[in-house]
């Protein structure tokens, strides 16, 4: 099951709860509060930061002149819009967005290290970002990221991703060369590559991460 499938399952369950709530002629107040709280939690947990979903949710809850029943109906409308947008592929899971920001931060750090003359640390850091991205792509494609209870190596994940056509053979060759450079840096083979090669690697990793699914 993909992350989007999990999100849709959660939102579907909330919509079903709301349908059951509407069958009550005079629903208990505790059910109203519980559903209102769950709707708010789902929006804040699953909607992208600074999105219209969160904005509408905040606006609704801050309105002191509307009843809790009306707030619930408003929030459920937001939940249904969020569910539909995930269903048609208009949204990336919030975890992916956060991960993209983290990757950008680490790649920016690698650029700073390289610019400050620390090519070896920059190569190791960029290689770490690349390996985590490969693991993410495998998870998204349903490719196992461990074997015999142990995490797969980056080279194995690279081969699996190319075999499943997640990306092409040229990408596979590029990833292989970047991982080789990372391994040399990690094992102290500092004279076997140049700062310019690390710069090319860093640019390539940034583009690869962006193009293959960030």
pLDDT tens by residue, 163-189: 999 999 999 999 999 999 999 998 989
* Predicted local confidence at residue 1, as pLDDT: 47
* Predicted local confidence at residue 122, as pLDDT: 86
The pTM assigned to this predicted structure is 0.53
Judge if 35 and 111 occupy the same domain.
no
* Predicted local confidence at residue 97, as pLDDT: 46
> How many domains is the chain partitioned into structurally?
2
Judge if 181 and 117 occupy the same domain.
yes
Using CA atoms, how far apart are residues 79 and 86, in angstroms rounded to an integer? 11
Using CA atoms, how far apart are residues 138 and 209, in angstroms rounded to an integer? 13
Would you say how long the chain is, in residues?
A: 214
CATH code of 202's domain: 1.20.120.330
Residue found under tokens 């074997």: 147
Range in 65-79, 106-120, 166-180 with the lowest mean pLDDT: 106-120
What sign for the dihedral angle of Cα 178, 182, 184, 189? positive
Q: Which residues pair with 150 in a beta bridge?
A: 147
What the block records as the tokens of 37 is 């709280």
Judge if 36 and 81 occupy the same domain.
yes
Expressed as residue numbers, the domain containing 149 is 94-211
Three-class DSSP category at 147: strand
């Amino acid at each position: 099951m993909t992350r989007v499938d999990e999100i849709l399952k959660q939102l579907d369950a909330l919509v079903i709860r709301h349908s059951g709530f509407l069958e009550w002629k005079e629903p208990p107040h505790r059910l109203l509060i519980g559903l209102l709280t769950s709707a708010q939690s789902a929006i804040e947990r699953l909607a992208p930061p600074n999105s219209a979903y969160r904005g509408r949710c905040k606006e609704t809850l801050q309105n002191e002149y509307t009843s809790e029943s009306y707030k619930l109906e408003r929030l459920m409308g937001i939940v249904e819009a969020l569910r539909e947008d995930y269903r048609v592929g208009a949204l990336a899971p919030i975890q992916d967005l956060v991960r993209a920001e983290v990757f950008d931060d680490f790649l920016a750090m690698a650029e700073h290290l390289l610019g400050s003359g620390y090519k070896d640390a920059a190569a190791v850091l960029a290689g770490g970002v690349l390996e985590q991205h490969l693991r993410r792509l495998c998870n998204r494609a349903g490719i196992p990221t461990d074997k015999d209870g142990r995490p797969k190596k980056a080279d194995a994940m690279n081969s699996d991703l190319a075999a499943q056509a997640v990306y092409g053979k040229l990408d596979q060759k590029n990833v292989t060369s970047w991982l080789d450079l990372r391994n040399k840096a990690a094992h102290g083979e500092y004279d076997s590559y140049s700062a310019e090669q690390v710069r090319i690697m860093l640019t390539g990793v940034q583009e690869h991460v962006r193009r293959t699914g960030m």
